[in-house]
Chains A and B, each alone.
Chain A
Amino acid sequence: MRRLLDAAPQLAAPVLLLVATAAIAGALSRERQLEFENALVMAAVVVALYVFVGNSGVISFGHVSFVAVGAYLAGLVSIDPETKAFTVPGLFPFLRHAHIGIVPSLALAAAAGGVYALAVGLPLMRLSGLPAGIATFAVLGITYNVLSYWGRVGPGVQTLSSVPETGGWTIAAGAIIVVAVAFAYQRSRFGRLLRATREDPAAARASGIDVYRQRLLSFTISGALAGLAGGLYVHQLGLITPDLFYLDLTFVTLAMLVFGGVASLWGAVLGALAISALNSFLGDAENTVDVGFQLTLPNGTRLVTVGAVMALVLILRPSGLTGGREFALRWRR
């Protein structure tokens, strides 16, 4: 009981941060609201990524594939079939005729992300280090390539913009579920086993931990959460197009995770919200913003700054903003 109480702030802090983000979003103009909602979606994606990368210490460039699968599925099944017959006639029949609500579509997205991650993880979780990075990158390449050209699973290179949108509170609830699952997992026996393999694979194996199995479990959970985050993303934006789910999103989410601190849940949430805030501030500044004086930055400053911030953090403070620590009311040494 005591241990649970000690741990409570570790879950409460990121959840409160997300709730606060959603609450502030509700009070703002429509345009500003979209930026806050997007920050919540990013937090969900980054936490999903953290569940695997943070706990296992193995890099993955492939998580955006699971986000993409979740987004495509959640988006397509919730569009009105009559619209689909018109805009994406080549879809598989079960996708073309399906018409379900937003919440069930999110559950479906999570399931699809989990199944895809399991299928990918079965062979790939034997790898670690550099080969794991390259293999997961190859998965991303395949997913992007197939989604860009295969008319049976989506609109191809075109943009499909008739996905029903949802409000900030649904998105916040989804993000909170992702955080809660991540928290439960890392406090569970399996999360601890995986963290042990991160710290010292040889010692962990000598203690009887099946590294492959623990990684696969984590990868699958992480994939399911990424799928859910993808569902949130598509219902937040209201559109589907393959370019959303490729190198840019992979890079930005990794940058957020590294910036906050790869090894903690608190770091993942903080990093996602901080970089999102920076992103939208700079986005405004590119169209002139008033910060005591009129500030106008050239177009593209946003990208340069995010890239530079990530490079600097990696060089100067590789453990990120939080140094891999969870949120705590008292600083313990």
Chain B
Amino acid sequence: MNWGQAIADALALGALYGLVAVGIGLVFGVMRLINFAYGELITAGAYTLAYTGGWPPALSIAACVGAVVALALVQERVAFRPLRRLGASPATMLVATFAVSFLLQAIYLIAFGSRGQIVGTLGQLNEAFSVAGVDIRWILLVTFVTGLLLLAATAALLGRTSIGLHIRAAAADFRTARILGIEANRVIMLSFVVAGVLAAAVSVLYTVSNPLVQPSLGVPITIFALVGVVVGGLDRLWSAALGGFAVGVVYGLFDDVLSSTSSVYLPSVVYGVVIAVLLLRPTGLFAPLRGAQVERV
């Protein structure tokens, strides 16, 4: 067991899940929607990378961002906006995102087949460099740094720009924000755009270590990031990010450290933690207790 490598793996995985958690948390904050179909955005990005494999990497990545953001907007416009107009309950919306996820996976299956495509865009990042006798793959460093940069950029966008102010106002109190003249549809679209960019980044980073793209690629990523969001606390973006990061780190660490006979049960442990958090600290582990709004009957 090499601890240095295990920690590097875990930190990179944490950064990745942190990004996904922010993407999910951002949309949740604005429209109380947990988008289960978020993973299908990541999958769409991965397919774009696979099919633009012959292009220069920068162009291929740009295409990936474009495709993912477009799909995010389509999801919002075609599925979630009509539902919001109807005033559907959060639980109904969750079922709807489930349906969208299933539908997109089925479309990927028809369009791209079940055997999978290979992404090689940034394959050279799989090479390793040595620090103090520990071999660390470049992609781990790149993932970690990119993750932090994007989180910082999202924070800056939300905290320093007027668009960010609108998004935060809508997240705090949607109805009041509308009364004060914030355009609801624009804010929601913008949060989908930002979430889409984050998803595209995850596609690029994730496929370096896991180059095989299949229709269900995004599902486990979404599930675990969702776990992180819930454990960390849905109501605040930074607690959601921290939750995602924590789940990634813990998962990565235990996956490396435990023997394979016990690590197969890791998902059960993670889900068990989710249930415990929902019951004992419904606002999340990292949310302050004071003034907490607890959703109970």
Residues of A within 8 A of B (CB): 58-59, 61, 123-124, 126-135, 138-139, 141-142, 145-146, 148-149, 197, 201, 205, 211-212, 247, 251, 254-255, 258, 298-301, 303-304, 306-308, 310-311, 314-315, 318
Take A130-B34, A258-B95, A314-B83 as given contacts and tell me if A247 and B275 are in contact as well, using a CB distance cutoff of 8 Å.
Answer: no
- Which residues of A sit under 8 angstroms from B94, Cβ to Cβ? 59, 130, 133
**Count of chain A to chain B residue pairs whose CB atoms are closer than 8 Å in the complex:** 132
Closest residue of chain A to B229 (Cβ to Cβ) is: A134
What interface size band does chain B fall in? 35 or more
Q: Do A141 and B79 touch across chains, with their CB atoms under 8 A apart?
A: no
Q: Is the Cβ of B91 less than 8 Å from the Cβ of A130?
A: yes
The SS class assigned to the B binding surface is helix
| Chain A binding surface SS class | helix
Interchain CB contact (< 8 A) of B106 among A123, A212, A258, A300: A300
Set B86, B89, B226: member contacting A134, Cβ < 8 A: B226
Q: Does B96 contact A (CB under 8 A)?
A: yes
Name the residue among B79, B90, B96, B271 with the largest chain A CB count within 10 angstroms.
B271
The CA-CA distance from A126 to B278 in the complex, in Å, is: 10
B131 within 8 Å of A by Cβ? no
Contact B98 A251 (CB under 8 A): yes
Q: Which residues of B contact A197 (CB under 8 A)?
A: 297
Give the complex CA separation of A192 and B192 in angstroms.
Answer: 41
Q: Is the CB–CB distance between B271 and A314 below 8 Å?
A: no
Q: Tell me the B residues contacting A by CB distance below 8 Å.
A: 32, 34, 79, 82-83, 86, 88-92, 94-96, 98-100, 102-107, 109-110, 219, 223, 226-227, 230, 264-265, 267-268, 271-272, 274-275, 278-279, 282, 295-297
The smallest beta-carbon distance between B139 and chain A, in angstroms, is 28
Inter-subunit contact A303/B223 (CB<8 Å): no
Say yes or no: A315 contacts B296, CB within 8 Å: no
Q: Do B91 and A58 touch across chains, with their CB atoms under 8 A apart? A: yes
Q: How far is the CA of A288 from the CA of B3 in the complex (A)?
A: 57
Interface centre among B91, B95, B295, B296 (most CB of A within 10 A): B95
Chain A residues with CB below 8 A from B219, complex form: 247
CA A133 – CA B100 in complex, angstroms?
A: 17
Shortest Cβ distance from B279 into A: residue: A123
Given A247-B219, A307-B99, A315-B82, verify A141-B271 contact (CB < 8 Å).
yes
Q: Beyond A130-B91, A301-B110, A314-B96: 15 further Cβ-contacts under 8 Å?
A: A127-B278, A127-B279, A127-B282, A129-B89, A134-B230, A142-B268, A145-B267, A146-B265, A149-B264, A251-B102, A254-B95, A258-B95, A298-B110, A299-B109, A310-B102
> For residue A58, which residues in chain B have a CB less than 8 angstroms away from its CB?
91
Question: Across the interface, do A315 and B79 meet the contact criterion of CB distance under 8 Å?
Answer: yes
| Docked complex Cα distance between A314 and B264 (Å) | 36
Check A138–B271 contact: CB distance below 8 A: yes
Contacting A59 at CB < 8 Å: which of B91, B274, B297? Answer: B91
